[in-house]
Amino acid sequence: MTDAEYVSHFRGMPETYAPKRRDYPLSNLNDGRRLVRVRCSYYKRAHCYFPDDLIQIFGDVDVDSLACRMKCENGKDHGRLDVEAFSPTGREAVGLRIRRLVAIKINRVPVWSDG
């Protein structure tokens, strides 16, 4: 293996470990003033959330995994949501509307037994 071959081989390595590389739990965002922005590409609108609120619902999961866990409330067929962590700075923070968790409703599902 020449030096050039070795370098290209080495550079290719991180792709192999892609799932591990992006592991980034929500609790990591609490050290700063970071928020989570969730955008529906179909509905073309975004909502901002506090990581703590999302932890109450989903647990301390990987930020990227929210793309699959969350569903657009305007249509279940809107597909994967675009999720990113960000820290609002200066102008962006002014007037930024952040969704707060008001309550978690539990669906009551009847289970029947024909006896």
Instruction: Give the N- to C-terminal CA distance of the chain in Å, as an integer.
Output: 73
Percentages of the chain per state (helix, strand, coil), in multiples of 5: 40, 15, 45
Cα–Cα separations (whole angstroms), residue 98 to 36, 79, 80, 82: 9, 23, 21, 17
Residue 39 binding Zn ion, by CB under 5 A? no
* Contact pattern for Zn ion over residues 54 through 93, marking x by CB under 5 A: ------------------x-x---x---------------
* Cβ at position 37, least distance to Zn ion in Å: 14
* Sole binder of Zn ion in the list 35, 40, 54, 63 (CB under 5 A): 40
Which residues of this protein are in contact with Zn ion, per CB under 5 A? 40, 42-43, 72, 74, 78
